[in-house]
Chains A and B, each alone.
Chain A
Amino acid sequence: MHMMWFTERAYHYDPEVEPEKYRLLENQVIRERSFYGTPNRFFDAEHGAKLINQYLDEKVYTDEELLNFDGVMLNEHHGTPFCLGAVMDVEAAVLAGKTKRIKIVLLGNPVATVGNPLRLAEELAMIDLISGGRLVPGWVRGAGSEQFANNTNPALNRELFEEGVDFIIKAWTTPGPFRHEGKRLHFRHVNPWVLPLQKPHPPFWIPGLISPDTAYWCAKRRYPYVALATKLEPTLELWHFYAEAAAREGYQAGPENFGYLQPVMIGDNQERAEELGKRLLFGGAFAHFARPEWMFPPGYNSKAATRRLAQLETGPNTSGKPMFTTTGEETEEQIEAVKNRIYSGYPKVLKDMQMIAGTPDNVIPKLCKILEVLRPGIFSFWLDGPVSAKDRKRCLELINRDVIPAMREYGKNLGLVSPFERKPGSRALGPDGVYAAVSNPEALAEEY
Chain B
Amino acid sequence: MASQEWSERTVRIAGINLPVIVGGRGKPLLVLHDELGYPGWFNWQRALAKERTLFIPMAPGFGKAPRIEWVDNVRDLACVYARMLREEGLENIDVIGFSFGGWVAAEMIANYPAQFRRSVLVAPGGIKASKGDLMDLFLVPAQSYLRATVLDPSATAEFSNLYGEPNTPEQYELLEDARAEFSRVAWEPYFHNPSLPHLLEGVANQSVLLIWGRQDRVVPRSVIDTYYRAIAGSKLVMFENCGHRPEIEKTDEFVSEVRNFLGA
Contacts and interface: CB of A to CB of B under 8 A. Distances in A.
Interface of A: 148, 151, 153-156, 292-294, 297-299, 303, 306-307, 309-311, 313-314
A299 B188 contact: no
B181 A293 contact: no
B167 A314 contact: yes
Interface in B121-175: 137-141, 166-173
B187 interface: yes
B177 interface: yes
A314 B187 contact: no
A154 B173 contact: no
A153 B169 contact: no
Contacts of B167: 313-314
Nearest to B178: A298
A153 B184 CA distance: 7
A102 to B, nearest CB: 40
A311 B138 contact: no
Interface of B: 137-141, 166-173, 176-177, 179-184, 187-188
A298 to B, nearest CB: 4
Residue of B166, B167, B168, B184 contacting most chain A CB atoms (<10 Å): B184
B140 A298 contact: no
A246 to B, nearest CB: 30
Contacts of A292: 141
B187 A306 contact: no
Given A298-B176, A310-B169, A154 B140 contact: no
Contacts of A309: 172, 176
Given A310-B169, A310-B172, A293 B141 contact: yes
Contacts of A148: 138-139
Given A148-B139, A153-B188, A314-B168, A307 B183 contact: no
A155 B187 contact: yes
Given A155-B187, A299-B183, A309-B176, 16 more contacts: A155-B184, A156-B184, A292-B141, A293-B139, A293-B141, A294-B139, A297-B138, A298-B179, A298-B180, A299-B179, A303-B177, A306-B173, A309-B172, A310-B169, A310-B170, A314-B168
Contact of B169 (A154, A156, A311): A311
B184 A306 contact: no
Contacts of B181: 155, 299
B180 A299 contact: yes
A297 B179 CA distance: 9
B179 A313 contact: no
A156 B184 CA distance: 7
A154 B172 contact: no
A153 B141 contact: no
A310 B184 contact: no
B100 to A, nearest CB: 13
A290 to B, nearest CB: 12
A294 B144 CA distance: 13
Contacts of A307: 169, 173
B64 to A, nearest CB: 11
A298 B183 contact: yes
Contact of A298 (B138, B168, B169): B138
Contact of B177 (A306, A313, A314): A306
B173 A310 contact: yes
A314 B169 contact: yes
Contacts of A299: 179-181, 183-184
A307 B177 CA distance: 10
A317 to B, nearest CB: 12
Residue of A155, A156, A294, A314 contacting most chain B CB atoms (<10 Å): A155
A155 B172 contact: no
Contacts of B140: 293
B134 to A, nearest CB: 15
Which 4 pairs, one residue from A and one from B, show the smallest C-beta to C-beta distance? A299-B180, A298-B179, A153-B187, A298-B183
A314 B139 contact: no
Contact of A151 (B170, B172, B173, B188): B188
A154 B183 contact: yes
Contacts of A297: 138, 183
Contacts of A314: 166-169, 171-172
Contacts of B187: 153-155
Nearest to A307: B173
Residue of A151, A154, A298 contacting most chain B CB atoms (<10 Å): A298
Nearest to B141: A293
A155 B180 contact: yes
Contacts of A153: 183-184, 187-188
B71 to A, nearest CB: 12
Contacts of B138: 148, 154, 297-298
A303 B169 CA distance: 13
B166 A306 contact: no
A307 B188 CA distance: 26
Contacts of A313: 167, 172
Nearest to A148: B139
A292 B176 CA distance: 13
A314 B165 CA distance: 11
A117 to B, nearest CB: 18
A151 B140 CA distance: 15
Contacts of B169: 307, 310-311, 314
A157 to B, nearest CB: 10
A309 B168 CA distance: 12
B182 A298 contact: yes
A148 B172 CA distance: 21
B67 to A, nearest CB: 10
A351 to B, nearest CB: 32
A310 B166 CA distance: 12
Contacts of B137: 298
B183 A306 contact: no
Nearest to A184: B72
A305 to B, nearest CB: 10
Contacts of A151: 188
A155 B183 contact: yes
A378 to B, nearest CB: 34
A235 B28 CA distance: 56
Residue of A292, A310, A313 contacting most chain B CB atoms (<10 Å): A310
